[in-house]
Amino acid sequence: MDVLGLGADPVAADALVCSAKGCRAEARWGLLWNNPKLHTPERRKVWLACDDHRTRLEQFLGARRFWRSTVDVDDLERA
Ligand SMILES: [Zn+2]
């Protein structure tokens, strides 16, 4: 159930690991993004980020105009 109405894809129910390449740190943030060429406007893909990688991943998505918002990982829907 998408209690917050984020429209984000569910994430795994167990250990959440940062999406940055090579990083195995526990994720603290969910970066919600959308590529208008691939996704319907309401769709939100999710990248997970640790504290160290949050800004870098936001900048990566922001530079492509894909970034929409960042939420606490605890607010994400679990599969
Ligand atoms: Zn990381």
The alpha carbon of 51 and the centre of ligand 1 are apart by a number of angstroms equal to 7
Which residue in the block uniquely carries the two structure tokens 């603290």?
28
Stated pTM of the model: 0.85
The alpha carbon of 47 and the centre of ligand 1 are apart by a number of angstroms equal to 11
The alpha carbon of 41 and the centre of ligand 1 are apart by a number of angstroms equal to 27
The alpha carbon of 38 and the centre of ligand 1 are apart by a number of angstroms equal to 26
Distance CA 70, CA 62 (A): 11
* Torsion angles phi and psi, residue 72, rounded to 5: -60, 140
C-alpha distance across the termini of the chain, in Å: 9
**Number of domains comprising the chain:** 1
Domain that holds residue 38: 1-79
Tens place of pLDDT per residue across the chain (79 aa): 455 566 788 887 777 999 999 999 999 999 999 999 999 999 999 999 999 999 999 999 999 999 999 999 999 988 8
